[in-house]
Amino acid sequence: MRNKSIAVVMLILLISVLTACGAETPTATPAASEPTATTASATEPTATTAQAGEATATTAETGEATATSGSGAATGGGKTYALVPKNLGNPYFDTANKGAQEAAKELGVTVNYTGPSTADATQQIQLINSLIAQGVNGLAISADDSDALVPAGKAALDAKIPVVSWDSQIAQGGRTVHVNQAVSEDIGRTEVQLLAKLIGSKGKIAILSATSTAPNQNEWIKWMKDELTKPEYKDMQLVATVYGDDQDEKSYTEAQGLMTSYPDLAGIISPTTVGIAASARAVTDANKIGKVIVTGLGTPNQMRAYVKSGASPAFELWNPSDLGYLSIYTLDAIASGKIKGSPGDSFKAGKLGDYKVDNDGVVLLGKPTVFDKDNIDKFDF
C-alpha cells in the first residue's frame, strides 16, 4: 500500500513538471515582442513632426496663412515669404493679407501670414528672428517700431533674405525698400481737411492713435499738427492726443475719456482702423452722434453703419488689399532678382501695373479714397 502511494505521488509530480514546462512557451512570446515596443519609441519623432504641423495650422486659423497660396508655375521659383502685420486680428491687416494671397497665387509662391498677438515690437522682433532661422525667402513687415526693428531687419538682410516694409516702415538699414500706402504728408493734411469740413472748421478736436511708437502714425500726426497751424484752422483747437494701442477696448475707453474730459469736444481723428471704429461706437453709445464727429482711416465694411448713422460721416483709406498685393509683388521682384530695390528700379505688379522705386527707396501705392454715404456701398473690404 505504501509503495502504491509513493507511485501516485511520483506521478503527480511528473505531471506538474510537464505542465510547468509547457507554460514557458507563451511566456517567451512577450519577451520576443520587446523590439516592437522599441520600434514604437523610434516613431516618436513622427509625433513631433505632427506637432510642428499643428503650429502651421494654428497660423492658418489666425490669419488663413496658406489657405489661398498659389500653387501654379512659379515665376518666383516656389519661394516662401512671410507677411508680418503689426498684430493679428486686425481687419485692416486681414484685408491686406487677402491681397497678398491673391498675389501669391498669381506668382506661384507661398505667403505665410503671421504676426504678434498685440502690436508689440518685442514680440515682432522675436517672430522675425524665428522666421530668419526658418529660412524664408523674403519678409514683408509692417513695423511696430521703426528703429527697434532695424537690427532684426539687418540680420535678415545679412542672411540674404530681402526685407520689404509696408504700411509702417522699418528705418533705413533694416529693409531693402518700403511700400508706402500714400504720401505721409498727404494723409496727415487731408485728415485735418476732412474733419474741418465736417465740423465747420470750428471746435475742440482730439487725435486717437494706435501705439505711441508706430512710425506711420507719428508721421501722420506730425503733418496733422502742421496743417492745423494754417490760418483757416484758427478756430480749431487740438486738445489731446491719446493712444489705444490698436486694441478695441482700450481705444473705446480712450474715446470715452476724451468725451468726459472735454464735454464740448467737436471731433476725433483716429488714423487707425481699430481706433476709428471704437471711437464711432463710443460716440454712438454716448448718444453724441452729430455732436462729436469721428473721422480717420478705416475700412468700408467696418465703418458702413457708422457712416450711415452719422457717427462718422466720412473717412479715408487706400485699399489695404492692394497694399498687401503690391508688397508681395515688390518682395518677389527683389527675391527673384528682377530688381535690386535700388532707386530707379522698375517692375510690373500684376493688375496694378508698373511701379518704380523712388530716390528714398520707397514704392508708392497711390492716393487714398474718401468714403461717405454716397459711395461706401460700392466697396466690399
Q: What is the pLDDT of residue 12?
A: 43
Tell me which residue of 280, 305, 350, 304 sits closest to 100, measured CA to CA.
350
Burial category of 18 from C-beta neighbours within 10 Å (exposed 0-12, middle 13-18, buried 19 and up): exposed
How much is the average pLDDT of 193-206? 98
Q: What is the pLDDT of residue 57?
A: 28
76 or 257: whose pLDDT is higher? 257
> At residue 19, does pLDDT exceed 80?
no
Q: Residue 129 is inside which H or E element, if any? A: helix 121-134
DSSP 351: G
Residue for cell digits 487706400?
A: 318
CA distance 353 to 364: 12
CA distance 131 to 163: 12
Residue 140, CA atoms < 13 Å, CB-side half-sphere: 33
Give the whole-number percent of the chain exceeding pLDDT 90.
76
CA distance 340 to 343: 9
Mean pLDDT of the chain: 84
DSSP 170: P
Which string of DSSP letters, residue by residue, matches 90-143?
A: -HHHHHHHHHHHHHHHHHT-EEEE---SSS-HHHHHHHHHHHHHHT-SEEEE--
Start-to-end CA distance of the chain, whole Å, equals 107
Q: What is the pLDDT of residue 317?
A: 94
Tell me which residue of 192, 246, 198, 200 sits closest to 221, measured CA to CA.
192
> At residue 7, does pLDDT exceed 80?
no
* Backbone phi and psi for residue 98, each to the nearest 5 degrees, phi listed first: -60, -45
> At residue 11, does pLDDT exceed 90?
no
CA distance 220 to 230: 16
Pair type for strands 314-317 and 369-372: antiparallel
Q: What is the pLDDT of residue 367?
A: 81
The predicted-structure confidence for 243-288, as pLDDT tens digits, reads as follows: 999 999 999 999 999 999 999 999 999 999 999 999 999 999 999 9
The predicted-structure confidence for 214-249, as pLDDT tens digits, reads as follows: 999 999 999 999 999 999 999 999 999 999 999 999
Predicted TM-score (pTM) of the model is 0.69
> At residue 34, does pLDDT exceed 50?
no
Residue 239, CA atoms < 13 Å, CB-side half-sphere: 19
Residue 374, CA atoms < 13 Å, CB-side half-sphere: 3
Helix (H, G, I), strand (E, B) or coil at 243: strand
Q: Are 176 and 207 in contact (CB under 8 A)?
A: no
Give the ranges where 2-107 is alpha helix by DSSP (H).
2-32, 34-42, 44-63, 91-107
Nearest-10 crossing angle of helices 44-63, 34-42: 30
How much is the average pLDDT of 112-122? 96
The 10 Å CB-count burial string (b at 16+, else e) for 152-181 is bbebbbeeebbbbbbbbbbbeebbbbbbbb
> At residue 27, does pLDDT exceed 90?
no
Ordered by where they begin, the domains of the chain are 65-181+320-365 (3.40.50.2300), 184-317 (3.40.50.2300)
Among the ranges given (26-30, 307-311, 356-360), the one the predictor scored with the smallest mean pLDDT: 26-30
Q: What is the pLDDT of residue 1?
A: 46
